[in-house]
Structure 1
Amino acid sequence: MAKKINLSKELILSEYSKFILTEGGKPSSIYLFCKGLKIEENEFYQFFTSFEQIEETVFTSFFENTVKLLNSSEEYATYDAKTQLLSFYFTYFEQMTANRSFVIHLLHEDKNQLKNLKKLSSLRILFKDFVDSLEIEPLKIPQETIEKIQQKSISELAWVQFLMTFKFWIDDTSSSFEKTDIFIEKSVHASFDLMDMTPLKNIIDFGKFLWKEKVKM
């Protein structure tokens, strides 16, 4: 009697990746995929309901592993928001590079790019929550509605930046993808420089002071 495998989400992800890379495409059915694993189809459904769900989970799994690695470092908690975001990027794309052939296949599988990007929809939610947790401070404007819009815009802009980095990494042909590392560092630094509104805030404060003094006079 064949030994029963210890089925898990990670094992299914691994076997699905192997199938894609060796066969050049996804299995024709869940039944045949399960047959290859020597498991019953209902066992598969305990973890996933479709191949599309597996593919979406690939990117969230990278996210979960990244956060776990970051939180295992005592130094990470002492970093400022910019350094924490940089650490996230470098760690996430290290995992992507380790699985590059599989990732490239998933994101080029369909001619309709919107369908390919849909595989990142769950990652988008997790990433935006992560950015929100960094509590990046925009220019303080004393109006509650504007503050909420600003905070929401930060995570949305961060997601756009993440997608730009994703595209750069896909197209990167440099040795060890060193240009992607440079892109990450420069783009994150640039985005934080744009949000550093201290000089403008000082000008606004000075303007308020002059206005008050003018009214008094």
Structure 2
Amino acid sequence: MTTIDQKENAEAQLNEERLIELYMEYVLEKEEEPGTVYKFTRLNKISETDFYNFFGSFDGLKKRIWERFFELTLELMEKSKEFSSFNNREKMLTLYYTFFEMLTANRSYVLFTLKNESSLAKNVRQLSGLRRELKNFTAALVRTQNEEKQSRLLKNSETVFSEAAWVQMMFLLKFWLDDNSPQFESTDVAIEKSVNTVFDLFENSPLERVVDLGKFLWKEKMS
């Protein structure tokens, strides 16, 4: 029999992270999403009210998972003593390398949740929080860089750069999903080449990197 103390202890341990963990375990073990919040909470011996204290729906939970992937990526990056001394190009490379290491650690879930959706619109919805977080991060990088520049003509657009970063993220995510190379080495190469291309575009010397990236993508497509 569950005592009052045990029940209170279980409720105290229930939090956003635990609900995310339970949800991811469910879809990986059953290879399907829960049909209803009622069935999901009953299976995990928690109340619907406890679930709704953290999320309004499974859609909200799925969106939060992607935000947490990004937040945990930033936490790992900021633990590095060297990160604060990196230039923007190095910070973006570190961001993508770390983020895709995070996704690789959760690859089975990512493959399921992205390929399980019936439409692109649903994927866009669950990735909307990730999009906001990435754009905020990249806009902050440009803002800091612009503050250091004397001439207005040398300053870059936060909006253009952050939108380019999101397009880049979607390209890399698709590339990683289809990557069959050992340890996803091809994705690492794609990250390096695409980040260098974007920064070279902003630095007005794009030709060499664009050609280099184009050759790489053509080779990967034909192999």
Backbone CA RMSD of aligned residues? 2.3
TM-score (norm 1): 0.84
The answer to whether the 8 Å contact 2:41/2:48 transfers is: yes
Equivalence for 1:130: 137
AA aligned to 2:128 is S
Partner Cα separation in structure 2 for residue 141 and residue 119 of structure 1: 40
AA aligned to 2:14 is L
Deviation for aligned residue 1:15: 0.8
Q: 1:184 aligns with which of 191, 194, 199?
A: 191
Partner Cα separation in structure 2 for residue 159 and residue 114 of structure 1: 16
AA aligned to 1:51 is F
AA aligned to 1:35 is R
Structure 1's 197 and 140: CA in aligned 2 closer, same or farther, altered over 3 A? Answer: farther
Deviation for aligned residue 1:151: 2.5
Q: Greater CA radius of gyration, 1 or 2?
A: 1
1:99 partnered with 2:106:
yes
Partner Cα separation in structure 1 for residue 176 and residue 63 of structure 2: 19
Equivalence for 1:41: 48
Divergent runs of 4+, >4 A: 136-143
Partner Cα separation in structure 1 for residue 74 and residue 185 of structure 2: 22
Gaps of 5+ in 2: 207-223
Partner Cα separation in structure 2 for residue 126 and residue 111 of structure 1: 25
AA aligned to 1:103 is V
Equivalence for 1:116: 123
Partner Cα separation in structure 1 for residue 48 and residue 177 of structure 2: 34
1:102-161 C-alpha deviation (Å, 9 max, x unpaired)? 111111122211212211011111100000111275899857xxx68x321111111101
The answer to whether the 8 Å contact 2:138/2:158 transfers is: no
The answer to whether the 8 Å contact 1:110/1:116 transfers is: yes
Deviation for aligned residue 1:197: 2.8
Give runs of aligned pairs for residues 1-217 of structure 1, distance below 5 A.
1-2=1-2, 3-4=6-7, 5=10, 6-135=13-142, 142=152, 150-197=157-204
1:142-199 C-alpha deviation (Å, 9 max, x unpaired)? 57xxx68x32111111110110000000010111111101100111011111111389
Structure having greater relative contact order (Cα 8 Å, sep ≥ 6): 1
Deviation for aligned residue 1:22: 0.9
SS in 1 for 2:34: coil
TM-score (norm 2): 0.82
Partner Cα separation in structure 2 for residue 181 and residue 64 of structure 1: 21
Partner Cα separation in structure 2 for residue 141 and residue 156 of structure 1: 23
Identity %: 36
